[in-house]
Structure 1
Amino acid sequence: MTSPAGVAAPPSPPALDALSGLLRDAVLLAERGTATPADIDTAMRLGAGHPTGPFTLLAGMTADQQRGLGLPGQQLPETPAPDELPAADTGWTGPVGVVGTGHMAGGIVETVARNGRPVRVLARTTASGDGLRARVTASLDRAVSRGRLDEAGRADVLARVRVTTEPAALAGSDVVVEAVAEDLHVKVLVAQQLDAQLPASTPLATNTSSFRVADLRPFVSRARPVIALHFFNPAQVMKLVEVVVPDDVDDGAALRATASAWAADLGKTPISCADARGFVVNRLLIPFLNDAVRLHEQGHAVAEVDDLLRTGAGHPMGPLALIDLIGVDVTVAALESMAAVEDDPRISPAATLRELAATGRLGRKTGAGFHTYS
């Protein structure tokens, strides 16, 4: 939904009502110091595809309109002047370690390798490593077919990717990014394995979308920097990276500067946020999707809910279709993870989500969720 000048038009009143929970949450995150209003707006535009960030929307509303959405109708949190980060040192210019062989890991591997850096990929098995290389190759082949990469460039990128099943082979990496299954037990096992094999100075970055760095910290030696670098799927396309450097990391400001500069050098837009479950995008997006399910439960058809946000707010995809794309089970797990540390009934998974998950209607990957797919 755009104006004739190409500027995003304000959402319709019904769409604004559907967005009211997200807008309240955005104000809450800014008040907590999770991220600045400017970074929250950037995150929702680049990470969720929303045409306008929540604070830009709120800035165009009157106090009465804000109160109508359950907001106090008072002055919104202002974006503070950014802290002057220390200049990044020589930075991360060398090899990068990536742990995992799924789609997210493959996207990160391709992103880094196309940037000219060697990538060392830790796979559980030779077969899974071969699968990752095949997916990266197929993605590069598509880039060649579309004229975005030539054959020589394709060969150079593939030559930078080395797959191993030995954790010690990741020694010498500037940073090691784990992109394994979104299961805390699995991530803890990986973190412990890496901690035992890598020099204590090597930063370990989690690509988690649901957990906190603090959830991994107890399982890693105190000397090792542990941070989050949350890429979005597909990582080779999506521009946002959420950079999370907890307060207890030594020289945290310098490390944040280095990590942010590294992400920017990869062609990404980094934002800085606090170590809270869901960070910015998922903490705002997933409860909003839950709100949309409850709107459907109130008697609105699936197509009606999706059309409301697509045509009424300019979202690239309706919220129920987006749940199908993410996965009903993944959405439920993300809500449960947030609900475990935040007492808010709104974050508890809607009944319909639980029913779909129980019957195996998980979305596109099973052929049916809120919608049916061929």
Structure 2
Amino acid sequence: MAPAKLLVDIHTHVYLPRYASMLRTRTSVPKIMSSLIDGKEQDRLLILDHEPSGGRPVGPQYWSRDEKIRFMDQHGISVSVVSTANPWLDFLPASQAQQLALELNADLEQYCSTGPTVTDSSIKRLYGFGLLPLVPEITTESLLDAVNQISESPHLKGLILGTRGLGKGLDDEALDPVWAAIEAAGLVAFLHPHYGVDVKAWGDKDNGHVLPLALGFPFETTTAATRLILSGVFDRFPNLRLLLAHSGGALPQLSSRLASCIDHDPVVASRLKHDARFYLGKLYLDAVAYGSEELGFVSEVLSRADRYETGNSSAVSPDRKIGSKRVLFGTDHPFFPPLKSTEKWQSVVDNLEAIDSVQGWTEEEKDGVRGANALSLFNIS
């Protein structure tokens, strides 16, 4: 039995030492470069072209397991399901991406398996999402090899995906054997953004990282997840478990508009087995929303999904308690650090306060979002 009321962080990143070393050798984005800042040499991470402020300052919190555990202890986090942060392997040629995926998956398994356990428990404090070499010209066999490696690694509970798939997107039918393998293995696919939207949309005024992160990332997730729904992936693989970053972006808010547009479009009107809103009930969302009203809303949207199953005429009122079972706590560590090392991270404090304040959730639902849902989803016991 798992200890009661564990706090489980399912959105927390790492650049493993092998990955960070590779970024240091690069001369083009993405890369880690050393710069003189106020007379001191500092490592800075650039993961996109035209990054404000010359990139992000990076240090051991991005790759050190001890730093990850220290952060967890500071915030009372019992278990973390760690994932390589963007841009993953998207920028590499197929042969290099294939080899590095297998090496990094092995590294992550060791990172987790040799780490500490929860007190008075056999549960590890660290589990992971592996990587697939989802790059153009990769073979299906190579992708299936990576899925198999992840499924055979006891401490890897799923895999993290960017939105570009094989260069054509995750709705490319060439990925069907991969979705089938992920479904059969019972792995969780964590969909995370990287590219945002066209930079021209942000205009010429310098607004730092705000527009790309606050809007671009969620819009990218919204588009990728909608394309998956439209492609019929959830009809062909009904047991596929897909987790969306940042509480699903704008998809919950726009799901009824999406359903209406499908109904009025002859290209897709007869393609899907169900109303588009039904498929939102197939999704899992992280709770990285920063507000209780947003979390309450997305749990309500998830809870109404069965109403839109073909042939189901029931009109039961949405129940936030039902939808909460598909929402899971996350921190987005090590991004958005506080200005002082002794301070608690606002991303943690805000997201926990949001969970605690959702109207319509009892303590049972809140405990579920904080940890019990994750333990069940990832079969951690």
State TM-score, norm by structure 1.
Answer: 0.28
Q: Considering fraction of residues, name the structure with more strand.
A: 2
Higher relative contact order (CA 8 A, sep 6+): 1
More helix by share: 1
Question: TM-score, length-normalised on structure 2?
Answer: 0.28
